[in-house]
């Protein structure tokens, strides 16, 4: 018995040597400086105005950010200090320091966007290069640089244009017959609009740099002044959108057409719009005029009801509209 106990004790004592040395769990290496992957690197501005190039850097630690003009390799700023005699140039960055925030969220510290890690610590900041009173010669490439080894660079393209060369948005209906689209009750129809950027002062085409700096065009649809929602209670509404540089084509498809779908449709992008008239077979001009008049009355009453809070004002016009359209639906 004693021999068995002694043998067991010897075996327990030898276990660490048999199993080998204990290895401490690996700790993740600290993340080094990096650029945020989602940044606006193409910018468009007018002569005489100001522009801000915003470079978002993560985990900068003890490194520094510089702004360099690529055309002459002039260092404009470094570590928050201006290194050029051009008084139009300035720079600033986000204030560092801990703060509350949702995990992985972006928030505004002052006027500057910062990012936070999983523990809520500030891990990055936006380093901004600002140029006042822009000139045409300010167009070109600017480098946001981190002094790592090797260095990290993110390039920004600035395009400065004259007031007359600034693009405008144009919207037009496509595939209409005198501005009208025809459909049959119970069937389906499609309305199409195109929006694009154009230069008004000449027939010159927009350069690739200008197109890249322009915000993407987004089309919205309205029926008799009311925004259409493909997920709304009406159902049977679908939107198909194709995009190119400086151009978008939107197609609105309506299924199971009824008299309620007839009327004026508006496609709008930015501050421009175009109008289409959906006409259903068997309806005459008086029917459309009556529908539009009643829709206008309903919209006015709904606006009054929102102010007064009276639900009765919202129900009455809709009931009247149903009574008006009932003979059209039954025929």
Q: Which CATH number fits domain 34-162: 3.90.1560.10, 2.60.40.10, 2.60.120.10, 3.20.20.70?
A: 2.60.40.10
Q: What is the DSSP letter of 256?
A: S
CA separation (Å) from 68 to 38, 133, 144? 21, 19, 7
Q: Go through 238-262 and write b for each residue having 16 or more CB atoms within 10 A of its CB, e for each that does not.
A: eeeeeeeebebbbbbebeebebbbb
pTM for the whole thing?
Answer: 0.54
Fold matches, 34-162 and 168-283: yes
> Could you tell me the pLDDT band of residue 115, with boundaries at 50, 70 and 90?
very low
Query: How far apart are the C-alpha atoms of 217 and 273, rounded to whole Å?
Result: 12
> Could you tell me the pLDDT band of residue 118, with boundaries at 50, 70 and 90?
very low
Residue 20 three-state SS: coil
Angle of helix 285-308 versus helix 312-330 axis, rounded to 10: 160
CATH architecture assignment, domain 168-283: Sandwich (2.60)
Query: How far apart are the C-alpha atoms of 266 and 285, rounded to whole Å?
Result: 19
Break the chain down into helix, strand, coil percent, rounded to 5. Answer: 25, 40, 40
> Could you tell me the pLDDT band of residue 104, with boundaries at 50, 70 and 90?
very low
* All structural domains of the chain with their residue ranges: 34-162, 168-283, 285-325
> pLDDT, tens digit, for every residue of 60-79?
888 999 999 999 999 999 99
Residue 117 CB contacts under 8 Å (≥ 6 apart), including other chains: 104, 123
């Amino acid at each position: 018995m004693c021999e068995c106990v002694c043998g067991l004790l010897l075996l327990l004592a030898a276990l660490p040597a048999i199993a080998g040395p204990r290895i401490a769990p690996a700790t993740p290496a600290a993340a080094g400086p990096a650029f945020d992957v989602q940044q606006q690197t193409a910018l468009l501005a007018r002569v005489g105005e100001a522009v801000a190039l915003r470079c978002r850097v993560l985990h900068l630690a003890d490194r520094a950010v510089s702004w360099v003009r690529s055309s002459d390799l002039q260092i404009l700023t470094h570590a928050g200090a201006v290194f050029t005699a051009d008084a139009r140039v300035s720079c600033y960055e986000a204030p560092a320091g801990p703060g509350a925030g949702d995990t992985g969220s972006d928030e505004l510290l002052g006027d500057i966007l910062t990012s936070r890690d999983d523990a809520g610590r500030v891990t990055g900041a936006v380093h901004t290069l600002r140029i006042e009173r822009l000139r045409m010669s300010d167009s070109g490439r600017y480098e946001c640089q981190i002094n790592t080894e090797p260095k990290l660079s993110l390039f920004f393209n600035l395009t400065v244009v004259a007031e007359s060369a600034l693009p405008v948005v144009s919207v037009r209906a496509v595939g209409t017959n005198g501005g009208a689209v025809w459909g049959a009750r119970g069937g389906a129809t499609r309305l199409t609009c195109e929006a694009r950027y154009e230069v008004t002062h000449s027939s010159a085409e927009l350069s690739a740099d200008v197109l890249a700096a322009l915000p993407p065009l987004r089309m919205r649809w309205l029926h008799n002044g009311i925004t259409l929602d493909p997920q709304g209670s009406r159902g049977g509404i679908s939107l198909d959108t194709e995009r190119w540089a400086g151009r978008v084509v939107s197609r609105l498809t309506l299924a199971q057409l009824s008299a309620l779908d007839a009327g004026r449709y508006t496609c709008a992008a930015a501050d421009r719009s175009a109008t289409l008239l959906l006409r259903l077979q068997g309806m005459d001009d008086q029917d459309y005029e009556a529908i539009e008049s009643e829709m206008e009355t309903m919209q006015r009453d709904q606006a009054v009801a929102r102010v007064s809070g009276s639900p009765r004002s919202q129900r009455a016009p809709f009931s009247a509209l149903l009574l008006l359209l009932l003979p059209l639906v039954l025929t």
